[in-house]
Structure 1
Amino acid sequence: MPKWNDYKRMAKERGSLALELYIVNTVPAGPDADLPGTLPDHLAYQARMEQEGKLVFAGPVSDMSGETLEGEGMIIYRAPSLEEARNYAAEDPMHKKGVRTFTIRRWLINEGSFTLSVGLSTKQVDLT
């Protein structure tokens, strides 16, 4: 198995995007975690991170059946390093107050696509 930076270099050399982002998987710290009580601070933090260009995507994920929410979430950060992304996650009020715990990993985006539609007169944006 190649080392991360070796693989990233090889991906760039073959013409892949090789965009490095950071995936945070976040889970409630326990059944008594005060998720609703920390939600406003968490959302304000997420909004600030988005405005600063550090937050790419964030939101809840389903259980394995796809039918139920169990409190897990995913956050994707844009950061200059894994350590900096780890700091972003650690400063999230839910993590900082011990309401949630997280793991973080690097993610190298090589392929894919998305569509962005911007309605100028309607001021609507659609991302698919």
Structure 2
Amino acid sequence: MTDSTSMPVGDVLAASKGMLQKQLYAISTRPVAGLGPILENIEAHLAYQVKLEEDGVMFAAGPIWTDDEQHWEGEGLVIVRAASRQAAIAIAEADPMHKSGARSFSVRPWMINEGSVTITISYSGQHVEVN
């Protein structure tokens, strides 16, 4: 048995054959100079996020809390549908939060294999629940 720190993507795909294997991109975003610049750009940022959602680009996004789950220090995670990592980088660069310099970001390819989403729609109660 060899001890390795990485394996080729093709081997991972072969091992997970039959699973979803949906390629997405994770944009990790973090403050550059505290919360002030983030709060100054939050409205434009959220409008951009909503547009990505409306255009079918956004898979999911939201803030990342501190480990004790009590505070927010300005970090976020954005998962997008894109044709390539370069396309995902272009999406991140166009975000007003990044264009303004309030946050920096990194982009990593992320493949969904496992998991599920449950959606309950109550007609009479006119309520939707996502789990």
- Distance, in Å, in 2 between the alignment partners of 1:68 and 1:10 is 41
Asked whether the equivalents of residues 20 and 113 of structure 2 are also in contact (C-alpha less than 8 Å), the reply is: yes
Q: What secondary structure is seen at the aligned counterpart in 2 of 1:111?
A: coil
- Distance, in Å, in 1 between the alignment partners of 2:71 and 2:92 is 25
What is the CA distance between 1:114 and its match in structure 2?
1.6
The reply to whether residue 10 of structure 1 matches residue 10 of structure 2 is no
Asked whether the equivalents of residues 46 and 55 of structure 1 are also in contact (C-alpha less than 8 Å), the reply is: yes
Asked whether the equivalents of residues 19 and 110 of structure 1 are also in contact (C-alpha less than 8 Å), the reply is: yes
Alignment of structure 1 residues 1-128 onto 2, 5 Å: 1-4=6-9, 6-7=10-11, 9-11=13-15, 14-31=17-34, 33-128=36-131
What is the CA distance between 1:118 and its match in structure 2?
2.1
Count of equivalent residues? 126
Structure ID, larger Rg: 2
The alignment's C-alpha RMSD in Å is 1.8
- Relative to structure 1, is the Cα distance of residues 32 and 60 closer, same or farther in structure 2, using a 3 angstrom cutoff? closer
- Distance, in Å, in 1 between the alignment partners of 2:12 and 2:83 is 15
Sequence identity percentage: 36
Unaligned runs of 5+ in 2: 1-5
- One-letter amino acid matched to 1:52: D
When the two structures are superposed, what TM-score results if normalisation uses the length of structure 2?
Answer: 0.86
Q: What secondary structure is seen at the aligned counterpart in 1 of 2:69?
A: coil
